Chains A and B, each alone.
Chain A
């Protein structure tokens, strides 16, 4: 809602045009012959033969896998591959056509069915990379381990031929879960990729790349990097919300209307639909979709219909023709673009698919149109090659595949990780744990010196501790609060790291719904801080793509409750890629998530536990300005995905604990270190997030009325978590209450309790008590005290579970019988 864009009622209510005119979308318009293409100078005979060769590589590669899956071997050499194999035989022309126009700087993202795309792009990059560069890439990869084995399949001197063995072997070893594979065997068939060739991750979640690729394009644009990004998606993925959200994000008007200077213009991203007719067993055209052709989608997102075209994916030259035009369109900053590449897969969804949903006749009819056979025939017809020459190519291809196959299944040459013996190996790959000031060499784009920023000036007048020198409580307006702490850390990083971008709903003029960014609008240009559509899947998905390419990003989820809208991105994508890539990728994404209250059942939930459950995410939930700033600094200095929870209850809290208040300069609070906010000897309170303040209140009551001293520990971050301070505390007190605002059932609170019971068993005077919210919907604000843990609940728990308090009248029912009863009822 920028003020510069006036919504004119006159123009809105009384438009000049009374029809919404959609551009026409070309369908199968390519009609050139091979001879004509040669004549036009578009291809040399060598180019055409290489296209034939590349298609043959894909076909044999998929044939090999199909035979391994269905017959337990290939060319008489037995092998059992228990993992997935989603094959793309039939789609070779679409893949090779896609890759033909791409440079190494152009990135492709894929799906679960992307072996063909990887090989096509890899073969293309090998072809265009200078030999020296190619050699360097291969020698440096895994310290040359992959190359060493690949060399055994080639004894010649041709670097490109060696490169082909390297590509085939690296991909196969990955599919067979070997440590010499492109991702150390941790990605496998559906995730393998090789960034030095511009091959970015494929994705086992249908449509997963639909938003991630958009983020990669955003990275290229904001960081002024060369190249376009291709999102290879299936036609089935056109039904996926995150894909549609990714298209929405990529189509935002602001790229044209609000982004300035060289940043003006669309994102360089091409949604390339490998339209193979099936979504698993569902037939998209005629059954599960209503779009007639996927190309229609373009018209729904942008007035140029994303320059969508439906092209013949059975003819590599038709695909190349379309790609040449689309690439130019993107380089002209007119993106995004959409291609609907018609193709067909011969194999089922997977080798276990009996193709019960289609007839043999249908498959036979498509095989009769086979893209490789047909293209070979055209080459012969055009006098480019003889059948013998083509047969020789096929034989060479088959020999190379077989040679690499034998290497990739050899346990001594291509071992797997021994995760039993090296029990911490994979654990140590879950996080990259790096500390890097800036992920960019560029000078950060900013609009003013930070010290002139109005927010910075305002903060300078605030008290950085909750009481002044005279011991008087500082007024709310003059109090340096949690929002200020977050602002200082984020503003600092914007001025330090040119790659940092931040976006989400209402992030710019509004400063975020809770005004953490207020003042940044004046300081940071649009392309680094902008409003996103209300599309959480795209907000997180694009951030993942942005970070994969090497940038730092802060996507914001306005309410914790909306995490469900980006469930796949938060749970399946963000946490997985560092380890799944074999640590090739870093994931410097700090997801800011605001935890609400007062707004009822869909705006007041603490979902920290959902995030702690997923391996690969770091989780923080600071509750004081000092901790908020220090943890945000640490999050932004790191290279790991962080879900950074903030509580709307306490955004205005001043610093009440850290002596001397919040430092003005830069400092980090290491992740994983809980903090003792108050010392005590009789009972320990371990709190998550805003519950800290209710625990402090309870500690006051306990001291005043019952002479017991509570030690209050603020968890601060939940993953990682160092138990040492908690153990020491429990050794002292013998009792612990773990409290947070998450619903108690299945929460991280229980995880902490179970671990503490384990780690401190002989020191415990009572079982650890969990105080979480009731297992209900969050009621309206007026009724919240029955739902969220209250100070009185701490005393109730002590009285009922630990030490009977004299003359105590409990507020809540914490008896064992009640617990059993509630559990029986499922509440």
Chain B
């Protein structure tokens, strides 16, 4: 009996994954443990290993496809075994899936990522509409075309459903986007009220699935839409064209989205680093003497100080949602991590409950997980953290203007330590090590005074840090 390989579900909020590479193709022999294919979410990449041995009989997708989770991807079995029934969207596949994994029925039939609860009903609507229209329809052109004509009705429905007409492929005469195209696009999309309103304003793109209940696309899920360039002429001696990786595209979109959708500015302040340098020396010694089992870094001390400061400034430890604030009772500290594949920001949940050793260990673990690609995607969501720290001190950067990981209200950029003159009193000046602190905050959420007071508080915490180890 042939075995089906499905797209695994990585974390609660993940509805679909991008297929990055097939390591095995139709006809290949596979052994248990062989890597079959690689895929990624918007936050991390993964490899899928073979759990059975046999021959690859079918591959239903190609690299670059967005595949809803729990959808059949591959069939492994003996040559000659039938596999057509496993093809996604095939009626037989629905039956098989229904008997084997009832909870996934909606996804398989609908072909779009959504929570199982709402998904069944919606996907049935889609298939029905598809059937009645099928006879009348020439295949819709696959990709949206920039500047394609759209009927007034299509525009109206798009506005009502909060869809951007630019991202819909037209199937009408002369490539016109007609009502059914918008309806089909809408059927695969579930937007919250805020998201609809934001989409109606235009210029935004909604992902196939969002981070809300039942996969609903929320305002914060919306991305600034930029048309895809499929053909860039002129490649030759002067430049070559390299397509962005999916990871890169996601980072690009979310960074751009952040700057487009918030009111960011940065305050910079120096903190006397003598205290934490002394603590670092102490910790190093403790580690060498085996009294502690964590290498507590300067950054760990800074984060520890930030957590203390955040507990005194709930407005900063928050998400700005446009017309409301999400004020956290806990500190979920995000940490910007540079990896080979790009920037990642994992969160350490409930960070205020950790002592300095626990915090140090957790920060190291999430950073390592990111670098290995084994991080839980749920921790990478921009909503997972309530505040983020980004440290470029290791590279000698003194000050910078970090970009907020929206919907968070602020981010702290930590620079390197440089000696600066300081009035020690009594006409005595001395060079003292100073740590550069750059706080970027969303002025929609926080005013300059409060931001300054918070930043000062961070400095005060750093200068007077008390830790036990």
Question: Chain A interface (Cβ within 8 Å of chain B)?
Answer: 682, 705-708, 734, 761-766, 800-806
Q: How far is the CA of A803 from the CA of B135 in the complex (A)?
A: 11
Q: Kindly identify which residue among B134, B151, B173, B176 contacts A734, using a CB–CB cutoff of 8 Å.
A: B151
Q: Total contacts A to B, CB within 8 angstroms? A: 63
Q: How far is the CA of A766 from the CA of B135 in the complex (A)?
A: 19
Whether B156 contacts A766 by the Cβ 8 Å rule is no
In the complex, whether B138 has a CB less than 8 A from a CB of chain A is yes
Whether A806 contacts B136 by the Cβ 8 Å rule is yes
The 3 closest A-B pairs by CB, nearest first: A765-B153, A707-B135, A804-B138
Cβ contacts A to B, 19 pairs, < 8 Å: A705-B135, A706-B136, A707-B134, A708-B135, A734-B153, A763-B152, A764-B152, A764-B153, A765-B151, A765-B178, A802-B172, A802-B173, A803-B171, A803-B172, A803-B173, A804-B171, A805-B136, A806-B136, A806-B137
In the complex, whether B179 has a CB less than 8 A from a CB of chain A is yes
Kindly list chain B residues whose C-beta atoms are within 8 Å of the C-beta of A803.
Answer: 136-137, 171-173, 178, 180
A241 to chain B, nearest CB (A): 50
A705 to chain B, nearest CB (A): 7
In the complex, whether B283 has a CB less than 8 A from a CB of chain A is no
Whether B179 contacts A765 by the Cβ 8 Å rule is yes
Whether B137 contacts A762 by the Cβ 8 Å rule is no
Q: How far is the CA of A29 from the CA of B12 in the complex (A)?
A: 117
Kindly list chain A residues whose C-beta atoms are within 8 Å of the C-beta of B173.
Answer: 766, 800-804
Q: Quick one: CB contact mask for B368-382 with A, threshold 8 Å, 1 for yes?
A: 000000000000000
Kindly list chain A residues whose C-beta atoms are within 8 Å of the C-beta of B179.
Answer: 734, 765
Whether A764 contacts B151 by the Cβ 8 Å rule is yes
Residue of B nearest to A816 (CB): B174
The DSSP consensus for interface residues of chain B is helix
Residue of A nearest to B154 (CB): A765
Q: Kindly identify which residue among B135, B138, B153 contacts A763, using a CB–CB cutoff of 8 Å.
A: B153
Whether A707 contacts B152 by the Cβ 8 Å rule is no
Q: Kindly identify which residue among A682, A762, A804, A805 contacts B155, using a CB–CB cutoff of 8 Å.
A: A762
Whether A766 contacts B137 by the Cβ 8 Å rule is no
B331 to chain A, nearest CB (A): 49
Whether A707 contacts B136 by the Cβ 8 Å rule is yes
Which residues in chain B, 29-71, are within 8 Å of chain A measured between CB atoms? none
Q: How far is the CA of A763 from the CA of B133 in the complex (A)?
A: 19
Q: Quick one: CB contact mask for B142-185 with A, threshold 8 Å, 1 for yes?
A: 00000000011111100000000000000111001011100000
Q: How far is the CA of A734 from the CA of B156 in the complex (A)?
A: 11
Whether A707 contacts B132 by the Cβ 8 Å rule is yes
Q: How far is the CA of A784 from the CA of B132 in the complex (A)?
A: 35
Residue of A nearest to B177 (CB): A765
Kindly list chain A residues whose C-beta atoms are within 8 Å of the C-beta of B137.
Answer: 803-804, 806
Q: How far is the CA of A801 from the CA of B153 in the complex (A)?
A: 14
Residue of B nearest to A682 (CB): B136
The DSSP consensus for interface residues of chain A is loop
Question: Chain B interface (Cβ within 8 Å of chain A)?
Answer: 132-138, 151-156, 171-173, 176, 178-180
Q: How far is the CA of A604 from the CA of B136 in the complex (A)?
A: 35
Residue of B nearest to A803 (CB): B136
Q: How far is the CA of A708 from the CA of B136 in the complex (A)?
A: 7
Kindly list chain B residues whose C-beta atoms are within 8 Å of the C-beta of A802.
Answer: 172-173, 178
Q: Which of B132, B153, B171, B178 has the most C-beta atoms of chain A within 10 angstroms of its own C-beta?
A: B153
Q: How far is the CA of A764 from the CA of B155 in the complex (A)?
A: 10
Q: How far is the CA of A763 from the CA of B156 in the complex (A)?
A: 7
Residue of A nearest to B156 (CB): A762
Q: Kindly identify which residue among A734, A765, A800, A806 contacts B135, using a CB–CB cutoff of 8 Å.
A: A806
B136 to chain A, nearest CB (A): 4
Given contacts A766-B172, A803-B180, is CB(A761)–CB(B152) below 8 Å?
Answer: yes
Kindly list chain A residues whose C-beta atoms are within 8 Å of the C-beta of B152.
Answer: 761-765
Kindly list chain A residues whose C-beta atoms are within 8 Å of the C-beta of B156.
Answer: 762-763
Whether B153 contacts A804 by the Cβ 8 Å rule is no
Kindly list chain B residues whose C-beta atoms are within 8 Å of the C-beta of A762.
Answer: 152-153, 155-156
Q: How far is the CA of A764 from the CA of B152 in the complex (A)?
A: 6
Q: How far is the CA of A764 from the CA of B172 in the complex (A)?
A: 13
Q: How far is the CA of A763 from the CA of B157 in the complex (A)?
A: 9
Q: How far is the CA of A762 from the CA of B153 in the complex (A)?
A: 5
Kindly list chain B residues whose C-beta atoms are within 8 Å of the C-beta of A761.
Answer: 152
Kindly list chain A residues whose C-beta atoms are within 8 Å of the C-beta of B176.
Answer: 766
Q: How far is the CA of A706 from the CA of B176 in the complex (A)?
A: 20
Q: How far is the CA of A800 from the CA of B173 in the complex (A)?
A: 6
Q: How far is the CA of A806 from the CA of B154 in the complex (A)?
A: 21
Beyond contacts A707-B133, A765-B172: 11 other A-B pairs, Cβ-Cβ < 8 A, are: A682-B136, A705-B135, A761-B152, A762-B156, A765-B179, A803-B136, A803-B173, A803-B180, A804-B173, A805-B138, A806-B134
Residue of A nearest to B135 (CB): A707
B276 to chain A, nearest CB (A): 63
Residue of A nearest to B178 (CB): A765
Given contacts A761-B152, A763-B156, is CB(A804)–CB(B172) below 8 Å?
Answer: yes
Q: How far is the CA of A800 from the CA of B179 in the complex (A)?
A: 16
Kindly list chain A residues whose C-beta atoms are within 8 Å of the C-beta of B132.
Answer: 707
Residue of A nearest to B151 (CB): A765
Kindly list chain B residues whose C-beta atoms are within 8 Å of the C-beta of A766.
Answer: 151, 172-173, 176, 178
Residue of A nearest to B133 (CB): A707
Q: How far is the CA of A468 from the CA of B82 in the complex (A)?
A: 56
Q: How far is the CA of A801 from the CA of B151 in the complex (A)?
A: 11
